[in-house]
Chain A
Amino acid sequence: MTANNRKSDEGGYVHSKAMQGVAATVALALAVVVAACGSSSSSSKTTSTPSGKPGAGKPAVTIGDKNFTEQFILGQLYAQALRAKGFTVNVKNDIGSSELIDKALTSGQINGYPEYSGIVLTAIAHDNKSYASPQATYDAVKKFENGRGFEVLTMTPFNDVDALAVKPPYAQQHHLTQVPDLKGVGRFTLGAPPEFKTRFTGLVGMKQVYGITNVNFKPLAIGLQYKALDAGQIQAADVFTTDGQLQRGSYTILKDPKNIFGFQNVVPIFSKKTLTAEGPAFTEVINAVSAKLTIPAMQQMNAAVDLDKNNPTEVAKKFLQANNLL
């Protein structure tokens, strides 16, 4: 319900069940007054399915994605590869952070979405244990999701984790190489997405694990933290390690020795019902795409969108073509 509730690229609207409810007096009164005038409702177009392909005749699937560039690309990668095999796929773009998109998933508005393994545990399962490896994280995610009716497909080779970035002169001045060093810099301002405030892979973990309390938190839309850091309005920024913007300026990424930010490989999560209905070819297509997603591949696709302002749809298409997935 923040900037995250955008229309899908297919013309449908995200409309989470959590947002259903009954009215406040004012709102309702007005709604009644104006309801009569009506309003154009969303239309959902479906792509025609060529016969002879594994997805032909299978029920339509809705894939969601979260509220930042990499996710827009991932949503397009999976959707386009599936469509090429005859599946009918709608994409609901830019739904929001993990906390919000999980509601869309569990309420059935989307059938699946690409998530990051570690964040499933901390933000959704509220499990702040430390896991030793990507595989251990993955296994824990699988156990959690299986327990509530969802399946976790193969994880990607790439890992995109939160990290704290500072400008190199600031790092030199305060001898910063790792996150716990921030304890010694006096009060500093950290810019990060709003949800960072209440996440274990965020301020909560920084405080509990590293004892960092000398931080002023500045909530910023994802993307703006680079602008703020470059302008010196914040001293540290939460970034994603595959961000394209990291190629534009020079930044020092602080190490996370106790790994509070965890392992964050992408795991497509789908409801078991959907996977059964779509058949094994569906899973195979998704896994084939995931297998190609290495760190350099993701970094360059992100940069192509954020630095060179290419359209995520086009970037995904080029990548799939180059890897014979279209």
Chain B
Amino acid sequence: MIASLSHSLITAQTVIPKFGHADDCVRQNRTFCWGWFSDHWDDVFQPALLDHIKLTLIAVVVGFAISIACAIFAYERGWFERPFSVFAGVLYTIPSLALFQLLVPVTGLTELTVEVALVSYTLLILFRNTLTGLREVPEDARDAARGMGLTARQMLWRVEVPLAVPAIIAGVRVATVTVISLATVAAFVVDEGLGAPIFAALQSSFNTEFIAAGALAVLLALLADALLVGFQRLVTPWARAGGTR
């Protein structure tokens, strides 16, 4: 092997090609280089943004399904509220970095780990809002439903759940924004989402990449919040007055 090394050193010197210089802004690592950002929208930022949205949607949809089911169960059997609230509350309090690290020995460095953690952060908000929404259905509405001869099941799905929709959507809004925020930390586990370019930027302390990825995450969260507020108003025009928002 030593022989082959000296052999190749003799036969050919190393050729160092031109790799292409970046512009001054990038080379000097100035605060923000627009050119670099727009050049890498397609291969860095857009995919990260789409991954981020995907991670968020999966978590919110799964969390929504679990929470709604558990909230209806708790609505029907009161004893269930306390244990589930405590469980979800504890999960909600665990720092994300810690939760990801605790899950990795169990579910590995996978999207599953990320989604389990993200879903766990939606439960408390969605469960509590749904349950509150159901409980605040006016007694008049229930009386009217009973008067119409609805069974308990019919009443739940035709009267109580629809009337709880504003509260549920409010929960979805908070949960969504929370998940968008936490999904940035997911890059510790899988190379996905807007956290990925943030971690990549550490390697060369590259300011443009830090700022661009961070700003996109902030904008995504604000945009999602605004869209959900709009949606909330669209589906519940009667709730517009006097709401706390």
Contact = CB atoms under 8 A, between A and B. Distances in A.
Interface of A: 1-3, 5-7, 13-16, 19-24, 26-31, 33-35, 37-42, 68-69, 94, 153-154, 157, 221-224, 226-227, 244-245, 248, 283-284, 287-288, 290-294, 296-297, 300-301, 304-310, 314-315, 318-319, 321-324
Contacts of B109: 1, 5, 7, 13-16, 19
Q: Which of B21, B62, B203 has the most CB of A within 10 A?
A: B203
Majority-rule SS of B interface residues: helix
B202 A284 contact: no
Contacts of A31: 103, 106-107, 112, 116
B237 interface: no
B103 A69 contact: no
B91 A26 contact: yes
A19 B5 contact: no
B106 A306 contact: no
Contacts of A319: 16-17
Contacts of A2: 188
Interface stretch (B22-30, B165-173, B174-182): B22-30
Contacts of B12: 292, 323-324
A138 to B, nearest CB: 10
B105 A292 contact: no
B225 interface: no
A111 B16 CA distance: 29
B37 to A, nearest CB: 11
A324 B66 CA distance: 58
Contact of B4 (A5, A287, A306, A308): A287
B10 to A, nearest CB: 10
Given A34-B119, A154-B1, A308 B22 contact: yes
Interface in B27-77: 27-29, 36, 58, 62, 65-66
A157 B65 CA distance: 59
Contact of A3 (B19, B20, B36, B202): B202
B158 to A, nearest CB: 28
A33 B66 contact: yes
Given A308-B21, A323-B12, A15 B91 contact: no
Contacts of B2: 154
Interface stretch (B128-136, B148-156, B189-197, B213-221): B189-197
Contacts of B202: 3, 221-224
Interface of B: 1-2, 4-5, 8-9, 12, 14-17, 19-22, 26-29, 36, 58, 62, 65-66, 87, 90-91, 94, 99, 101-112, 115-116, 119-120, 187-192, 196, 199, 202-206
B231 to A, nearest CB: 24
Given A26-B90, A31-B107, A284 B4 contact: yes
28 contacts: A1-B109, A3-B187, A6-B190, A7-B190, A7-B191, A7-B192, A13-B110, A15-B110, A21-B105, A27-B99, A27-B103, A31-B112, A35-B112, A39-B110, A39-B111, A68-B203, A153-B1, A154-B4, A223-B203, A223-B204, A224-B205, A288-B4, A291-B4, A300-B16, A306-B204, A308-B21, A308-B26, A308-B27
A24 B206 contact: no
A40 B9 contact: no
A293 B9 CA distance: 10
A293 B8 CA distance: 11
A309 B110 CA distance: 28
B204 A305 contact: yes
A323 B14 contact: yes
A30 B28 CA distance: 47
Nearest to A135: B2
Q: Which of A5, A30, A301, A324 has the most CB of B within 10 A?
A: A30
Contacts of A321: 17
Contact of A322 (B16, B36, B66, B108): B16
B14 A30 contact: no
A2 B187 CA distance: 10
B189 A34 contact: no
A22 B104 CA distance: 10
A9 to B, nearest CB: 9
Contact of A30 (B111, B116, B188): B116
Given A3-B187, A248-B28, A34 B108 contact: no
A3 B26 CA distance: 24
Contacts of A224: 202, 205
A192 to B, nearest CB: 14
A258 B112 CA distance: 48
B9 A157 contact: yes
A7 B2 CA distance: 35
A291 B105 contact: no
Contacts of A39: 58, 110-112, 115
Contacts of A28: 106
Contact of A248 (B27, B103, B104, B106): B27
A291 B104 CA distance: 39
Contact of B190 (A13, A68, A153, A221): A13
